[in-house]
């Protein structure tokens, strides 16, 4: 392989490459270089190191005629890339030295890089972790997505309320990508379909160009690199000269504006679907370009179209690219003359679909008239797919029903396998949304429990713990995370325990310094850092956490001299801009923080902080510093969770429900190292059948009643009794997410956490047992599962 042929990078060679790029790529001399110039030069010098392995991997895949994986995803939440590359190439030390020789601090330069936030949350970050594992495992793969001009919005708090501004990562040069102007496809929309000589012809009304931008994704030790290919929308006609000549200067730019809208902005809705025309266009835009691109590659290798499934595995990351099925069928029939039956069979053998949520508001469906207007040919093809499905299985499940095109049903019918993302979730997929389709296709659904890349989520973000693990059990865990279980032999060893606590203290200090620099807030680093970081959603129950915080505040004030365990409650996360109740929850957290943080009675015992604009880079600072991980979703609602894995891996025990991957985390780290509470998914369902359950639960809980009474009295809203009536009304009258029913047990479990935290050896043992037990949750394990059970691919080196 490749990386071996490359001369090893030294601090001197890197330094001279950085200087060369500063001069020749940035046009600056060191005396006048800004932080931006240094970052660009460093990035370019590092990017150069990736090119050889990247070429070699591509060449080897081509020569070996290896099957390729195509991961289609609306979201890739990749974050910063400098650190990713230096870690994977094992040149961080060298980079630090080179920058220092140039009078620059490497870490300051790294922190200057904007996050590539091309995703909302877990689903997008999972795609990024999968790309890392695919490269590390040397599985030939392409990620296909959209090159959004604006990633996820920036969150600000004004008087405690979330406001949003557009994110602008591409306002600066993005040096990691290579523009591929020669790789472009016409993507069509609208128009009508005619029948000519027994063949359908689509006469589209509108066309935009999908233009490729490639970012190499290098794996561990630079042994393999794959490609993340993102599509930007451009006008087919650059400029309308006729309009310009008529003096219509605005009109002259219309083609460009129209086209660019498609890849302009990431939809900021996590687990809700909007049903907007632009979103459907985005989905078809990137999916069609990707399918055309993979077909071109396949045919350029001299293959016969019938052979497609032996060379191509397409994974649909949720239903967002589900139009891939009809698009592939369309091309096979209309352009490659396959029969309808052969086209559907061939496409199905290539396609697999991952379901990421059961929440009804997230299940995509499009009004049939809108769908038929934008994609008339696909509308017909879906009708045809539906007919064959109904005939062949005798099933009554339709893809188009009550005037809606249902993308989940479409993806299911067109996939050879459908997977859920945790053991519990996959069972629920079988029992609930897809129970009828499961009966019709009983071998189709399987499970692949999510994972996280240990390169970013331990090795890179937690150097203190990384060092301790290396010193304790060696370095085999770098490529085989399950080796972490060797730590189990050291859990009761006093010197190991002390070193483990020292690593945590280092991370807490780092976070405290970060917060001080950012917001001027001082944290008590001897207090327990209790962290809930994720999108704000009722099912994730951040409001249960803040109500518990108020309850604790009450108890401390009632009895200030008792033996309390000091806590810092830390929140991070964004609400979808249109999700009013989630925004109220944010407001409440900030209001409660303002009240509690100014209370002289409790100030040394309880603090609430909510840094704005949570993103991947913030996660990399918060996660290693966490003592307690809040995973408190209503059972049955969080498909998997991946933040739960990151926190536990970094030595932060979970307080949580039996939901999503929590169930498997608890099995792996041991029930004694997990603070379990709450209704099970089954109990939750039964509870919803009991009329008036929430009011009854509130009335029988003095602790919760008191808290809700304080909110209603305006204690946290300067006397405003109505500020939180939406939350209160919801809890009393409805409470679908069963906060009221789980609250007392949650509060009691938190007091148990307090007690255990004071038993320092016991707590340290628990925290370290979490790290030791989490090896299975490497995304390398997940990707091996997909490769074996779904894709029929393997490592090629
Ligand atoms: C998850 C989404 C999601 N599930 C729609 N579904 C979106 C749905 O923009 N949209 O329309 C965006 C995102 N995201 C998450 O996936 C689950 O909630 C997590 O539990 C899971 O860990 C993650 C990865 O599987």
- Examine residue 642 and state whether it is found in any structural domain, yes or no: yes
- The greatest distance separating any two alpha carbons of the chain, rounded to the nearest whole angstrom, comes to 89
Q: What tokens appear for 727 in the block?
A: 């939350």
Q: What tokens appear for 148 in the block?
A: 């959004």
Q: What tokens appear for 52 in the block?
A: 């050889």
Please give the pLDDT value at position 3.
44
Specify whether 516 is catalytic. no
- Examine residue 605 and state whether it is found in any structural domain, yes or no: yes
Please give the pLDDT value at position 1.
40
- Examine residue 688 and state whether it is found in any structural domain, yes or no: no
Q: Which of 534, 541, 567, 587 is catalytic?
A: 534
Domain match, 442 and 489 both: no
- Examine residue 94 and state whether it is found in any structural domain, yes or no: yes
- Examine residue 788 and state whether it is found in any structural domain, yes or no: no
- Examine residue 696 and state whether it is found in any structural domain, yes or no: no
- The span from the CA of 355 to the CA of 445, in Å, is 10
Name 584's Cβ contacts closer than 8 Å, sequence gap at least 6.
724, 726, 727
- The span from the CA of 712 to the CA of 730, in Å, is 13
**Closest ligand 1 atom to Cα of 660:** 20
Residues in the chain with pLDDT values less than 50: 1-4
- The span from the CA of 131 to the CA of 141, in Å, is 8
Name 155's Cβ contacts closer than 8 Å, sequence gap at least 6.
162, 163, 164, 574, 612, 613, 614
> What is the per-residue pLDDT across 497-510, written as a single tens digit (0 to 9) for each?
999 999 999 999 99
Domain match, 581 and 627 both: yes
Domain match, 395 and 523 both: no
Domain match, 98 and 74 both: no
Domain match, 438 and 582 both: no
Distance linking the first and last C-alpha atoms of the chain: 8
Q: Which of 150, 406, 535, 749 is catalytic?
A: 535
- Examine residue 703 and state whether it is found in any structural domain, yes or no: no
Q: Which of 389, 540, 583, 784 is catalytic?
A: 540
Domain match, 366 and 499 both: no
Tally of domains in the chain? 3
Q: Which of 356, 438, 444, 687 is catalytic?
A: 356
Please give the pLDDT value at position 245.
82
Query: Is the minimum distance from the CB of 490 to ligand 1 under 6 angstroms?
Result: no
Domain match, 510 and 365 both: no
Q: What tokens appear for 443 in the block?
A: 């071998």
Q: Where does a domain end: 450, 469, 486? A: 450
Centre of ligand 1 from the C-alpha of residue 315, in Å: 15
The residue contributing the CA closest to ligand 1 atom 24 is 123
Domain match, 38 and 74 both: no
Domain match, 412 and 526 both: no
CA distances, 30 to each of 27, 34, 42, 100 (Å): 10, 9, 13, 13
- Examine residue 107 and state whether it is found in any structural domain, yes or no: yes
Specify whether 389 is catalytic. no
Task: Write the DSSP symbol of residue 539.
Answer: G
List the domain range (segments joined by +) for residue 399: 68-80+117-450
Query: Is the minimum distance from the CB of 356 to ligand 1 under 6 angstroms?
Result: yes
Domain match, 365 and 326 both: yes
CATH number at residue 316: 3.40.50.2000
Domain match, 548 and 562 both: yes
Strand blocks (E) in 417-475: 417-420, 445-447
- The span from the CA of 169 to the CA of 192, in Å, is 38
Domain match, 367 and 229 both: yes
Query: Is the minimum distance from the CB of 660 to ligand 1 under 6 angstroms?
Result: yes
- The span from the CA of 28 to the CA of 70, in Å, is 40
Q: Where does a domain end: 450, 470, 487? A: 450
Q: Where does a domain end: 419, 450, 481? A: 450
Centre of ligand 1 from the C-alpha of residue 507, in Å: 29
Specify whether 417 is catalytic. no
Please give the pLDDT value at position 5.
55
């Amino acid at each position: 392989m490749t990386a071996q042929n490359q001369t090893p990078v030294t601090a001197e060679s890197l330094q001279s490459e950085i200087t060369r790029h500063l001069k020749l790529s940035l046009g600056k001399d060191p005396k006048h270089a800004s932080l931006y110039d240094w970052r660009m030069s460093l990035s370019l010098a590092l990017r150069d190191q990736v090119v050889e392995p990247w070429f070699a991997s591509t060449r080897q895949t081509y020569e070996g005629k290896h099957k390729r994986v195509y991961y289609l995803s609306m979201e890739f939440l990749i974050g910063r890339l400098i650190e990713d590359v230096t870690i994977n190439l094992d040149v961080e030390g060298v980079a630090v030295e080179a920058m220092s020789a140039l009078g620059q601090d490497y870490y300051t330069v790294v922190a200057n890089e904007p996050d590539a936030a091309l995703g909302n949350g877990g689903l997008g970050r999972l795609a990024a972790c999968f790309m890392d594992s695919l490269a590390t495992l040397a599985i030939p793969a392409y990620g296909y997505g959209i090159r959004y001009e604006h990633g996820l919005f920036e969150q600000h708090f004004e008087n405690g309320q979330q406001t949003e501004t557009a994110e602008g990562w591409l306002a600066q040069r993005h040096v990691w990508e290579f523009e591929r102007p020669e790789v472009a496809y016409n993507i069509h929309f609208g128009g009508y379909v005619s029948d000519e000589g027994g063949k359908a012809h689509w006469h589209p009304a509108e066309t935009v160009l999908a233009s490729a931008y490639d970012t190499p994704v290098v794996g561990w030790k630079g042994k393999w690199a794959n490609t993340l290919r993102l599509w930007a929308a451009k006008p087919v006609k650059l400029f309308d000269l006729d309009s310009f000549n008529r003096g219509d200067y605005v009109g002259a730019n219309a083609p460009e504006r129209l086209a660019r809208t498609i890849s302009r902005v990431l939809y900021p809705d996590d687990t809700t679907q909007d049903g907007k025309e632009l979103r459907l266009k985005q989905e078809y835009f990137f999916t069609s370009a990707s399918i055309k691109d993979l077909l071109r590659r396949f045919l350029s290798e001299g293959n016969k179209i019938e052979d497609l499934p032996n060379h191509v595995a397409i994974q649909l990351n949720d239903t967002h690219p589900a139009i891939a099925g009809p698009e592939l069928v369309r091309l096979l029939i209309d352009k490659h003359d396959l029969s309808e039956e052969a086209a559907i069979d061939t496409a199905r053998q290539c396609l697999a679909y991952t379901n990421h949520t059961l929440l009804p508001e997230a299940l995509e469906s499009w009004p049939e008239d809108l769908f038929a207007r934008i994609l008339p040919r696909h509308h017909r093809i879906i009708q045809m797919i539906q007919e064959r499905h109904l005939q062949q299985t005798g099933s009554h499940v339709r893809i188009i029903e009550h005037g809606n095109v249902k993308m989940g049903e479409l993806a299911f019918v067109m996939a050879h396998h459908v997977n859920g993302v945790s053991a519990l979730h996959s069972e629920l997929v079988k029992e609930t949304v897809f129970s009828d389709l499961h009966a019709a296709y009983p071998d189709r659904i399987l499970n692949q429990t999510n994972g996280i890349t240990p390169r970013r989520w331990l090795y890179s973000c937690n150097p203190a713990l990384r060092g301790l693990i290396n010193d304790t059990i060696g370095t085999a865990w770098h490529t085989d995370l399950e080796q972490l279980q060797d730590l189990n032999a050291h859990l009761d060893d006093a010197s190991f325990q002390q070193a483990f606590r020292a690593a945590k203290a280092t991370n807490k200090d780092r976070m405290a310094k970060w917060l001080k620099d950012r917001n001027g807030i001082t944290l008590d680093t001897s207090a327990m850092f209790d962290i809930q970081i994720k999108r704000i959603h009722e099912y994730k129950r951040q409001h249960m956490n803040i109500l518990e915080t108020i309850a604790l505040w009450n108890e401390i004030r009632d009895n200030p001299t008792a033996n309390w365990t000091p806590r810092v409650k830390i929140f991070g996360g964004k609400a979808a801009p249109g999700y009013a109740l989630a925004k109220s929850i944010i407001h409440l957290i900030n209001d409660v923080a303002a009240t509690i943080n100014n209370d002289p009675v409790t100030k040394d015992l309880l603090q609430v902080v909510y840094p704005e604009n949570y993103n991947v880079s913030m996660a990399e600072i918060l996660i290693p510093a966490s003592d307690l991980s809040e995973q408190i979703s209503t059972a049955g609602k969080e498909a998997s969770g991946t933040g739960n894995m990151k926190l536990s891996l970094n030595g932060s025990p979970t307080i949580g429900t039996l939901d999503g991957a929590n169930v498997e985390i608890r099995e792996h780290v041991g029930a004694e190292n997990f603070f379990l509470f709450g209704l099970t998914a089954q109990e939750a369902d039964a509870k919803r059948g009991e009329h008036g359950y929430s009011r009854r639960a509130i009335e029988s809980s003095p602790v919760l009643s008191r808290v809700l009474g304080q909110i209603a009295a305006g204690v946290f809203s300067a006397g405003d009794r109505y500020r939180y009536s939406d939350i209160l009304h919801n809890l009393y009258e409805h409470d679908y997410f069963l906060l009221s029913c789980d609250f007392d047990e949650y509060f009691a479990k938190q007091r148990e956490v307090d007690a255990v935290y004071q038993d320092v050896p016991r707590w340290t043992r628990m925290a370290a047992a979490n790290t030791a037990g989490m090896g299975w949750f490497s995304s390398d394990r997940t990707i091996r599962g997909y490769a074996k059970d779904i894709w029929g691919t393997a490592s090629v080196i």
